[in-house]
Amino acid sequence: MSNTDYPLELPENDRPMVRFMNVSKSYGRLNVISHLDFDVAEGEMVTIIGPSGSGKTTVLRALMTLETINGGVIYVDGKPLTHMPRDGILVPADERYQRKIRSSIGMCFQHFNLFPHMTAIQNCMEGPVQVLGLSRKEALERSEELLKMVGMIDKRDQHPSRLSGGQQQRVAIARALAMRPKVMLFDEVTSALDPEVIGEVTHVIRKLVAEHNLT
């Protein structure tokens, strides 16, 4: 398919929250994703399962625009993410366009990636202040609410080095949700946790996804 074959925007009657349309990704001769067609409806929870190296993380990284796809188009809430309209066709998106569309996507990484020099509350506030333009008061109220929801409000002034793996994961979830995304991505979020913590963190994730109507 050429770029002229892809719609500039998905029609209202056929608009999943996420759509991979004929998406391919390769690294040299290694073909990781091949002509993937994949829809995720609003509010739907989807788990991608497969052996190591099968492309699970690559799908998430492509959706976060951390990887450049080699073919096809990814849409989010009906609008192209990997491409942008120009002169009636889709062309590869520039960084400014991608940043705008990507603002509706949150990601919780496998290794948390909390800012080590910031406390739990500061980690949650940084994105809403710097990216969304919220006042520090608004960002503080939102962050406190989310830390309460994940059971971490009593650790709000602790740095990541003083938190356990499960506690860091909860803060990372709150930080991602502070951006009020429409789509939430989790990359093997329980793989580094102790068995007794996995069920607890999974319960928190399911509760927050349901309460915020996330995809």
SS3 string, the chain, reads CCHHHCCCCCCCCCCCCEEEEEEEEEECCEEEEEEEEEEECCCCCCCCCCCCCCCHHHHHHHHCCCCCCCEEEEEECCEECCEEEECCEEEECCHHHHHHHHCCEEEECCCCCCCCCCCHHHHHHHHHHHCCCCCHHHHHHHHHHHHHHCCCHHHCCCCHHHCCHHHHHHHHHHHHHCCCCCEEEECCCCCCCCHHHHHHHHHHHHHHHHHCCCC
Q: What is the mean pLDDT of residues 54-82?
A: 92
Q: What's the average model confidence in pLDDT over 162-187? A: 86
Q: Using 50, 70 and 90 to split pLDDT, how confident is the model at 116?
A: very high
pLDDT the model gives residue 134: 92
- Over residues 2-51, the pLDDT tens digits come to 566 899 999 999 999 999 999 999 998 888 999 999 999 988 888 888 88
Q: What pLDDT, on a 0 to 100 scale, did the predictor assign at position 176?
A: 86
Answer yes or no: is pLDDT of 197 > 80: no
Whether 193 shows a pLDDT value over 70: the answer reads no
Q: What is the pLDDT of residue 35?
A: 93
Strand 71-76 versus strand 89-92 pairing type: unpaired
Q: Which domains occur in the chain, in start order?
A: 3-102 (3.40.50.300), 107-211 (3.40.50.300)
Instruction: Answer whether 0.95 is exceeded by the pTM.
Output: no
* pLDDT value at 164 more than 80: yes
- The predicted-structure confidence for 79-109, as pLDDT tens digits, reads as follows 999 999 999 899 999 999 998 888 888 888 7
For 176-203, b where at least 16 C-beta lie within 10 A, e where not — what string?
bbbbbbbbbbbbebbeebeeebeeebee
pLDDT at position 1 is 62
